[in-house]
Structure 1
Amino acid sequence: MTEENETIELYNLNYSDLIALSSSAPQASKNTEYLQSVMNTIIKNLGPSGPGLLAVTGFPDASDLRRTLLPMARKLALLNNDDRKCVLKDHGLGSDVPLKNFDRTVSPFAMQLKYNRDLDVNSICNVNYLGISGCGSDDKSLSEFKNLGNVFKELGNCMIDVGLRLARVCDKVIGGHELEESLLESCSAKGRLIHYHSVLDNLILQALNGTPSKSKLAKKTSSNQSDLWQQWHYDYGVFTILTDPMFMFASESNGVSLSYDEKECPSPSGHTYLKILDPNTNSVVKVKASSGSFIVQVGESADILSKGKLRATLHSVCRPKNLENLSRETFVVFLQPAWSKTLSLYDFSMKSSSLNDEYSRKRDEENQSQNPSSDIGKLVPPLCDRLKDGMTFAEFSRETTKQYYGSSGLQTKR
């Protein structure tokens, strides 16, 4: 087993190469060999011998949209409940965690992003949205959110474009059109703007809502912190597209203050704090991605639909130690099949499922040597327990959510 602090640097796929590979027009002969090499590298990174991730760089305007949207995640998380409700309602956003829980480790703000299957992939990013007026409140402090919905959709459509193009490229290698068609049949993706709380953020939330004294809060909050912002899991869609994260340091005045530095700060460790488990080596590694890139991650539906030629990524998000005022912001788009899409079992997926059990067995044995990743298998329900032959994607997603986060699930959802 390698050390847990080993870092993997993601392969950078240039967006211009992705355009060329996903184009239906024949390529010039001088580029054929180069593009074939790029295609092979894509499949190597997303397939069974790779990490199940890659980074897409060079997307026009993506960095500007990222810099505009991501700081809004923390601002939304620390608004009082009434103002936040107003902003979210005006911009068509919701949340899938209880935002009244002041001990929560994340604050996600979600929206369904629609796209038209009749549009060519080249047109996805050219869909323009009308500017959205600010919240109905007269509070000038809320005017900073006036472009929230617009920027959310614009960046989301950039990421949908990447996912659809990548699905087309993977289909060329796998054969058929299963991945791209499954996404076009859906015509919808879920966008999620996520704020990963610092310890100070939770103190602010509790202080704003009249909870006990600062000393009691600090003791309680510190004792509740785990070493993970997000627990180990597989995504169950086709592709998950993420911005590289933004890190922000909160300022502190007299113990607790609402002031903070809105400027992006570099990652304290140089990586994204995304961790994956590499099943080829049974090792936990941390992920490093290029600044301004989109991170592409394989989900379980892609694993199933590709008959194992792509492999889902088991991952978590760790939190830095001894940096109680550091928060993490990111924007994620989940590309998934239509809810009615039927999923079929195949030999490789069953083999993969049994490997989950094998990993769990190995980790139980490693408990004796106090291996740091020995309990991961206990938190992840095996695919063979969640997927039955002939299930629709809707049934698979419900069963997966139940086994992770239900009343008898293996993890908590905060």
Structure 2
Amino acid sequence: MERSETEEAEILELYELHYADLILLSSINASSTSPGNLDKVETMTKTIMETLGPRGPGLLAITGVPNASKLRKEFLPLARELALLDHESRKRILKENSLGSDVPLKNPDRSVSSFAMQLKYAKATELIDRKPTSEADYLLHTEDNPQEVDHTMIACHNMKLKNIGSTFKELGFCMMELGLRLAQICDRAVGDYELEQSLLESCAAKGRLIHYHSSLDGLLLKENERSKRNGKRQANIRRGQEYIISKGQKQLEGSELNLSAHDANSCGIHSNLWQQWHYDYGIFTVLTAPFFLMPSCSLITKTGDPFSASCFEECPSPTGHTSLQIYDPNKNKVLMVKAPPESFIIQVGESADIISKGKLRSTLHSVYRPSKFENLSRETFVVFLQPAWNKTFSISDYPQTKSDDEPQFRQDKCTLSHEIQRIVPQLSSRLKDGMTFAEFSRETTKQYYGGSGLQSNR
């Protein structure tokens, strides 16, 4: 039975693997490990494989990663600032930091902005000296003067944005390590030792810093376009301030509302998405738990500028989950993913599914946008771990038939599963025996987005 508008969305609380245990499991040596530790290793490995396997959700959380909290807090909010910069300033910062983008950043109607960089495995061991004490020392000398602190924070923010590439690499290399260690654990369980080797042979991973826009962001982008033509910046500020005070305060006050069914139609289908349903086609996707930003009405009133970065504050997820949602074919339903706020999420891609011969299961997912919080934006950082482009896939010994390979969708046309089936091309239509990863990725992109691709106009 489909979920009605009065029913709560089902929450998936991810299996949490502590970083210390990830290190233990990935570096275990059976000949030099005590029997007690071996029992622990076997139990945790079994749980990991069940979580990532055909009967599990296909993703887990890594907790307790050193320095993760600090990096996340200073890096993720920069996604919004970079997304909303004027085009020439952003272009300069991207060039200075060797960053690119795979979305049309000149389009003011875009709902997502992303900034990408290739991360080399050969450089993943290089640690970046950030020297954080300089910022701390400055603040200690100005803490008694709020006005000076404000200027200091602005200067620090500007410096972080200018040097965004360094933090991008530092956090990206950390996340690559998590994926490599998980690959080692899965390789040992599968017995083929192909996942880690496939990652290393690729020589690089792709990092992507993503800002999911709020309605206010859309207003700002359009107003900036208009202000270029007529120079009416002050009018834009007044309009933005009125927008925030009239709508934003209600959103902040209503943050404890039950949002489980606000965006459901009569079939219980969530139609309000930041990102449409899809599979990732690499081996692993490593994500930071998202960072949510909401405008502060009190700060806006104080500064008089609703578009200032200093007027936006981190807030807990108003929905109680990450906004990442997966479709679980075992339960034939959508599950909202919940993870600790400072954790990393690792989910299985289609290449891992293929290479492991079905022992790992790729995760069908989307990003849900809570419409009752129009001024809420979402920031995250993602690293895609993929095999080499010339990696050849063999499916002749895949243990399931191709028809069994696909999620079992219900035929009732008034279901989310039917909608997903309509827009997500089946793996069997994109993958042929002997294909290289490059050929598979081209065919996948073509069927999702290119030409007559089912999501080309979404």
Shorter-chain TM-score category?
0.7 to 0.9
Distance in 2 between residues matched to 1:63 and 1:268, nearest whole Å: 20
Distance in 2 between residues matched to 1:352 and 1:50, nearest whole Å: 20
Normalised by the length of structure 1, the TM-score is 0.87
2:279 equivalent among 229, 234, 240: 234
1:174 equivalent among 190, 193, 202: 190
Distance in 2 between residues matched to 1:246 and 1:180, nearest whole Å: 29
CA contact (8 A) 2:275 2:368 kept: yes
The answer to whether residue 214 in structure 2 is matched with residue 210 in structure 1 is no
- For 1:67, the equivalent position in structure 2 comes to 73
The answer to whether residue 443 in structure 2 is matched with residue 399 in structure 1 is yes
Aligned to 1:209, the other structure's residue is in SS state helix
Aligned to 1:149, the other structure's residue is in SS state helix
- For 1:187, the equivalent position in structure 2 comes to 203
The answer to whether residue 293 in structure 2 is matched with residue 277 in structure 1 is no
Normalised by the length of structure 2, the TM-score is 0.79
> Over residues 20-72 of structure 1, what are the superposed CA-to-partner deviations in whole Å (9 max), with x where a residue is unaligned?
11115332222111121110000000000100000011110111111111000
1:306 equivalent among 356, 364, 374: 356
Distance in 2 between residues matched to 1:45 and 1:380, nearest whole Å: 23
- For 1:221, the equivalent position in structure 2 comes to none
1:150-165 map, 5 Å: 150-165=166-181
CA contact (8 A) 1:130 1:150 kept: no
Distance in 2 between residues matched to 1:311 and 1:78, nearest whole Å: 37
Offset at 1:410? Answer: 0.7
1:16 equivalent among 4, 16, 20: 20
Instruction: Give the counterpart letter for 1:203 in structure 2.
Output: L
1:59-208 map, 5 Å: 59-116=65-122, 124=124, 126-129=125-128, 142-208=158-224
Aligned to 1:210, the other structure's residue is in SS state helix
The answer to whether residue 290 in structure 2 is matched with residue 245 in structure 1 is yes
Distance in 2 between residues matched to 1:347 and 1:227, nearest whole Å: 40
Offset at 1:304? Answer: 0.2
Offset at 1:187? Answer: 1.6
Offset at 1:264? Answer: 1.5
- For 1:324, the equivalent position in structure 2 comes to 374
Distance in 2 between residues matched to 1:346 and 1:39, nearest whole Å: 27
Offset at 1:299? Answer: 0.1
Instruction: Give the counterpart letter for 1:244 in structure 2.
Output: A
Distance in 1 between residues matched to 2:171 and 2:56, nearest whole Å: 27
The answer to whether residue 64 in structure 2 is matched with residue 58 in structure 1 is yes
CA contact (8 A) 1:10 1:289 kept: yes
Distance in 1 between residues matched to 2:370 and 2:353, nearest whole Å: 31
> Over residues 114-156 of structure 1, what are the superposed CA-to-partner deviations in whole Å (9 max), with x where a residue is unaligned?
012xx9xxxx4x4124779xxxxxx978434133111110110
The change in CA–CA distance for 1:327 and 1:409 in structure 2 (over 3 A counts) is same
* Aligned CA-pair RMSD: 2.6
Instruction: Give the counterpart letter for 2:292 in structure 1.
Output: F
The change in CA–CA distance for 1:45 and 1:346 in structure 2 (over 3 A counts) is farther
How many residue pairs match? The answer is 387
Distance in 2 between residues matched to 1:281 and 1:329, nearest whole Å: 29
CA contact (8 A) 2:2 2:415 kept: no
Instruction: Give the counterpart letter for 1:388 in structure 2.
Output: K
CA contact (8 A) 2:329 2:407 kept: no
Aligned to 2:418, the other structure's residue is in SS state coil
Give structure 1 stretches of 5+ with no counterpart: 133-138, 219-224
The change in CA–CA distance for 1:78 and 1:413 in structure 2 (over 3 A counts) is farther
Distance in 1 between residues matched to 2:365 and 2:305, nearest whole Å: 33
Distance in 2 between residues matched to 1:304 and 1:57, nearest whole Å: 27
- For 2:48, the equivalent position in structure 1 comes to 42
Distance in 2 between residues matched to 1:293 and 1:279, nearest whole Å: 25
Give structure 2 stretches of 5+ with no counterpart: 132-153, 230-235, 244-269
Aligned to 1:249, the other structure's residue is in SS state strand
